[in-house]
Every structure is written in C-alpha cells, then in structure tokens.
Amino acid sequence: MRWDSDHVVTLDDATSAILEECVATNALDRIHVGLDFFDASINRIAAWVIGTRNAKKALLRGLLQPRAALADAESRRDFTSRLALMEDTKSLPWGAVWREYCQRHNIPADGEWLAAVKRDEQSRLSKRV
C-alpha cells in the first residue's frame, strides 16, 4: 500500500519498486492494483491517463527484468552478480518497449494523448459560457 499526497500515480522509485515486486514475486494473478486519480488542480482525465500509464510502465519495467538470472544469482548467494544485474536493468530500453506496446495496441504514445484531452477540455469549457 502506498498513499501519495497529490493522488496521481507518478513513475517514481517507490511506485516502480512496488509494482516491480509484484512481478518479481509472481503475484500478478493474486493482487489487485488500486489507483487514485484525484488532484483538483489538474484535469481529471489527464490525471487518470497519467496515473494508469505510469502504473503500466512500472509493471513493464518489472516484466523486463531478467528474473531467472536474478533468482539464479540469489540462489547461488552470488550477490555481486545479482547487484550487477539489478543495476544493468536500470538502463534497459524499456521506453522503446513501451512505445512498441502503444503502437501495437493503438494507444497514443507519450506526448500524443495530452492534446486530445486538452481539446476536449476546451470544448467543454466553451460550452459552459
């Protein structure tokens, strides 16, 4: 469990660690991830999109880790190799994998979805006047 004061999930170290651990412990079929998207200072649709995408990115980073090699190193008590693997995974090109995921699922890539949300927000605001 994690509670963030601004209530929008960010891709920070804590979020990444929690969701990567869910992958590492092979618990994805036993957990439910609840996300909170309230922040009165920003667009609520944007908060939902940002938070959901960040949770998925953290899960992806966990899925890309070399779990078998990490488990093997740990079982052999080769903590040097385990640390080296953990550090190497930090520079994996997970962003390229994320972009490919978005493309294959017809999801707007980073930076593309915000313009649509802002257009919709402008349209709703102009109708109020």
Q: How many structural domains comprise the chain?
A: 1
* Cβ neighbours, 10 Å, residue 66: 14
Nearest in space to 37 (alpha carbons), one of 12, 9, 15, 3: 9
Q: How far apart are CA 32 and CA 40, in angstroms?
A: 25
pLDDT in tens, 16-57: 999 999 999 999 999 998 887 777 788 888 888 999 999 999
Residue 32 lies in a domain: yes
Q: Taking the model in full, what pTM does it have?
A: 0.81
Instruction: Provide the domain limits for residue 45.
Output: 13-128
Residue 3 lies in a domain: no
